[in-house]
Structures are given as structure tokens and as C-alpha cells.
Structure 1
Amino acid sequence: MKQLKTERDGPVLLVRFDNPPKGYMDGGTLDDLEALTLEIDRDDSIRAAVYTGADPATFIYHFDTNVLSDMADGMRAKGMQFSADKLLPERNIDTVFGRIAASPKPHIAAINGNCMGGGLEFALACDLRFAKAGDYRMGQIEIALGILPGAGGVVRTAKMIGAAKAMELCLLGEAFGPADAHRLGLVNDVIEGDVVAHAMDVAQRIAAHAPLPVQHIKRIARAANEPGDRDALALERTLFLDLLVQDEAVNNLGAYNRGDLKLTDRKG
């Protein structure tokens, strides 16, 4: 794997995202995650996985907007259009995030730095999220680019903190810090010390229990509070692409990639 650095600590696998210089998620990240998540499910000696960023200031900054711009240009050149009347099948990003949610093993995000857009969507797909205390940005900021969170961000946020608060976050598109993420209910805790060490400790304590009750508890909790409505996820990814091929998204993504469009922070 080119972008994921792994190390074992007994039954716990530590995974570091490593895609310099920006720490973006892209197709290569997803290819690595697809292979890794399959291996985690197959390997009985792995009882839990912890994810963090190799860059001390970045978890996953967001999905690479240059890739999104290229996607938009390619789809527009082909005259592609999207509608809620014809929902799209899963893409590899949906398969990977869905596999994490359905895995019998806990997947834990140790958020050590910037985590927006697709990065936050990945963290929301995990079972537990711990955020390092500090001055960095989180958030579903896609609307500022003329699009929407298209890999479970709207659906999982709504399931986690309620539809009204999810709409507030996604409609405003403002970034926020880890303390706000905790107050909103998006992360389990904010850690003043070493967030990776904390997440690894939690993972080791879970791994000390028998695997079957861990699997069943995760399944029950997911069934109670995770998106079980596949149509909602299909609608989200379909309308994401519908927005991506519009003029506003193309113009805003181009401006962001050039550094001419700045994100705003959440107020209050």
C-alpha cells in the first residue's frame, strides 16, 4: 500500500494516512483502504484498527478537490446528468466506508489534525472518534464549493446528531474546531495528550474481550443509530454528482484549487 503505513501492537492494527504534501484523500487512498479493510476482516488475529494521520497536523485534510474538478470536467464533456429518479450504485468509497461500518471489529479514528469533507466522512464511518485538542479545522464544508457531502456525510451526521443539527452544519458549510465537534456529538472525546496513545489504549481494552460479544454489540448499536436506509445513501451520492457537474461547483472548485476561495469558520 502506497498511502497507508501500518504497524501491529498485538491484536490492534495502527494505520497512518500518508499522502503528502496536503494529506488529501484520493483514488489511491481508497484503493489502499479497500485492500486493507478486506484484510482486517479476514485476519482473525486483528481485533481492532486505529486510524490517524502521518502528518502531525493532518488526519485527512479532505478529498482531493483537484480530482473532483477533473471528474466534473470529464462528466460535463460527456453530457452526463444525474437525477433522484435514477439512483446510482455504490462506488469504491461507499464500499470501503460501508465495510468499516459492517465490520465485526471496531474501527477507531484518532483525529490528530485537519479533518474536513471526505476526511470527516471517513471518521464518521468509524465506530469511535477521538480528537486531539488543538487549533485545527473539522467540518462538512462542501456547500461552500457548490456541492454536498457525497460519501455519507449528510446521512451519517443526521443519524449521529439529528437532522436539524446536521442540516445546520451542512447548509452553513463552516469549519470548526475539535471542542465544537465534541459539543456537537461528532467525536467521543477531545484528548489533551497523545490522541493516538489514547485510541490505542481503548482499542487494546476492547480487544481484551471475547470477539463475538464485541461483534454483536457493534452490530446492535449500528442497527440502532447508523444509516440503514441504503436509499438515503444512494440519493446522497447521486445528488452529489448532480451538483458536481453544475457551473457553480466547477467555478468554486477551480477557485478553491487556485487559492481564491477561502473557507469560513463556524460561529456560535
Structure 2
Amino acid sequence: MSQPSAIHLERTTLQTARITFANPPVNLMVPEAVVRLHEIVCGFDEDPDIQVVVFSSEVPDFFINHFDGAAAGDLPVPQHEDDPPVWTDMVMRLSKASYVSIAAIRGRTRGAGNELALACDLRYASREKAIFGQPEVGIGIVPGGGGAERLPRSIGRDRALEAILSSVDYDADVAERWGWVTRALPDAELDAFVDATVARLASFDRQALTTAKSMVNRATLPPDADLIASYSGFVDSLTNPGFLARAVALGTLIADKGLDVEYHLGEYVGLANQTS
């Protein structure tokens, strides 16, 4: 369903950069994308000028989608035994970075894609086109990229339980009302709003931005150990018999319905459970 992922890094000004995903047709997160993202985020850690980084997509209808299940065996591993998993290290660095990260969300973002958006400092969504979800439990596995740790801090325990346990899709109006995103805007206004926010933050004092973000982080970020434990739980769940049976059922639906499964994944996960 996917081709090797392309991640484009553009340095828009000395203080700003944009990371754009392009993995048609549905922007699945694949191992090489995780490695490249980790390289970019680590590189920004050493950059004395960067103040704002924006994540966006070139693929219509998809921001950043869930991880490609067919590539689960190729998940990148850390170089050293005591290092955190590559994905976990990347999102922890992103949340703690001295710069401000912004997700400009137009289209579907689920699983790993949603977890990357949650790791960003600000999330602005297209009211007409953004869709959110954590579909893992519905196919017999668990979130491993930070969704179970970050969602409760954003939307509350009960809403996080509903979102994670039900595995359904949520539109931008619900996401905004719950606090899943910073705000939802009319699609025609999204880019201009993000650009204006980037320009405003880039004009501010870098040290003030960094210090203020670190103060908020002390009150809001999940412990690193919890994020590492979740990734381990996700990897372990990939061997669950329940997952293997549901993966076959979902694969049958994909063969029959094609890309419509990715467009309406929350609905099809329920159908896969009825046939598994």
C-alpha cells in the first residue's frame, strides 16, 4: 500500500523550518521515516538558531497516518542497549526541544501520526479535513508511541479511555472541544494562521521561548520511563494471537475495499472484529 517514505526538510528562515511528509497514497509511517525524523530532531538539538519547526503533509486527505503494520519487523532499534527506542527518543526530544514545534494537520492522523502530533507543542487542524484516532486496540495491539500517556493529559482520563479503547475516528470539531488539538480552523484559513504564528514566535527572544516552554513541560510531560514502557508493550503486543487474527481479517477488507479502509479506518476496524 505504501512506497518508501519521503520526508522533506526545508529551512524556511534562519529561525524556522518545515518538515513535510510525502508517502502516498496514505502517508503511512514506515521505519525509514522514523530513522529520518530521529536524525532531523537530533540535528536540531545542536542548532543555536532554530526557534519554530512545522510538521505538515503533501498527501491530500492524510496528515501522518499510523505505522505500516507490514513493516513491524523492521522497526528501528537503538544503537546501544541502554538507549531508549528510536521512536521514543525522537518524541521525547521533540517535546523537550528548545524550539517550538507545530503540527499543521490537514487530513487523517492516527496511531503513530497522532502520537507525533501529540508530541508537538501546538496542533492546528483543518476543521473540514482533519481526522484523529488511535486504532491499535481495535486490531488487538496497544498504543506504543505516547498516545496512552499524552492523550489523558490533553483530554482527560475518560475521554482518553473512550478514544483508545473504542478505536473510532474523531473529527476536528470534537478534537477541538476535547482539547486534542490547540484549535481547529476553516481549511482555507489554516495555512495563513500557522504561517502567522510561526512568524510571531520566530520574532521573539529564543531564550524566553525556551525557558517558558520548559516551565510548562515540568507540569505536563509524561515521565520518560512511561513512554519507554509503552513502546515495549506495543512491541510485545505485536505477537498477540488476537492481533494476528484481526490483522488477517483487516487485510481481507483492504483487499476487497482498497483505500476506502484507510479513509474510514475507525469503521472498518469494527467490521474486522466482527469477522475475525
Instruction: Confirm or deny a common fold (TM above 0.5).
Output: yes
Query: In angstroms, what is the RMSD of aligned CA positions?
Result: 2.2
In the alignment, what sits opposite 2:203?
208
SS of corresponding position for 1:170: helix
- In structure 2, what is the Cα distance between the partners aligned to 1:150 and 1:38? 21
In the alignment, what sits opposite 1:51?
55
Is it true that 1:90 corresponds to 2:84 in the alignment? yes
Among 254, 262, 266, which residue is 1:263 paired with? 266
The alpha carbon displacement at 1:240 in A equals 1.7
Among 221, 233, 244, which residue is 2:238 paired with? 244
The alpha carbon displacement at 1:238 in A equals 2.3
Alignment deviations for residues 52-76 of structure 1 (CA, whole Å, 9 cap, x no partner) = 11113211121112123x469xxxx
1:93-108 mapped onto 2 (5 Å cutoff): 93-108=87-102
The alpha carbon displacement at 1:135 in A equals 4.2
Contact 2:52–2:198 (8 Å) recurs in 1: yes
Counterpart of 2:50, as a letter, is I
Count of equivalent residues = 248
In the alignment, what sits opposite 2:37?
33
- In structure 2, what is the Cα distance between the partners aligned to 1:129 and 1:102? 16
Q: 1:197 to 1:35 in 2, by over 3 A?
A: farther
Contact 2:53–2:102 (8 Å) recurs in 1: yes
Structure showing greater relative contact order (alpha-carbon pairs closer than 8 Å, 6 or more residues apart): 1
Q: 1:220 to 1:24 in 2, by over 3 A?
A: same
Counting aligned pairs with the same residue, the percent is 26
Counterpart of 2:103, as a letter, is A
The alpha carbon displacement at 1:22 in A equals 2.1
In the alignment, what sits opposite 1:14?
18
In the alignment, what sits opposite 2:79?
none
SS of corresponding position for 2:266: coil
The alpha carbon displacement at 1:29 in A equals 0.7
SS of corresponding position for 1:110: strand
1:227-242 mapped onto 2 (5 Å cutoff): 227=222, 229-242=223-236
- In structure 1, what is the Cα distance between the partners aligned to 2:248 and 2:5? 27
Q: Normalising by structure 2, what TM-score?
A: 0.83
The alpha carbon displacement at 1:136 in A equals 4.7
- In structure 2, what is the Cα distance between the partners aligned to 1:188 and 1:30? 25
Is it true that 1:196 corresponds to 2:191 in the alignment? yes
Deviates more, 1:104-113 or 1:248-257: 248-257
In the alignment, what sits opposite 1:218?
213
Q: 1:2 to 1:242 in 2, by over 3 A?
A: closer
Q: Normalising by structure 1, what TM-score?
A: 0.85
SS of corresponding position for 1:55: coil
1:113-132 mapped onto 2 (5 Å cutoff): 113-132=107-126
Alignment deviations for residues 120-150 of structure 1 (CA, whole Å, 9 cap, x no partner) = 0000000000001214531111111111111
Contact 1:7–1:13 (8 Å) recurs in 2: yes
Alignment deviations for residues 188-221 of structure 1 (CA, whole Å, 9 cap, x no partner) = 1111124233222212111111101100111111
- In structure 2, what is the Cα distance between the partners aligned to 1:255 and 1:141? 15
In the alignment, what sits opposite 1:76?
none
Is it true that 1:3 corresponds to 2:3 in the alignment? no
Counterpart of 1:264, as a letter, is E
- Runs of 4+ in structure 1 off by over 4 angstroms are none
**Structure 2 runs not aligned, ≥5 long:** 76-81, 255-260, 269-276
Q: 1:2 to 1:170 in 2, by over 3 A?
A: closer
- In structure 1, what is the Cα distance between the partners aligned to 2:65 and 2:5? 17
- In structure 2, what is the Cα distance between the partners aligned to 1:232 and 1:217? 24
Contact 1:2–1:32 (8 Å) recurs in 2: no
Counterpart of 1:225, as a letter, is T
Counterpart of 2:10, as a letter, is E
- In structure 1, what is the Cα distance between the partners aligned to 2:138 and 2:74? 18
In the alignment, what sits opposite 2:166?
172
In the alignment, what sits opposite 1:161?
155
SS of corresponding position for 2:11: strand
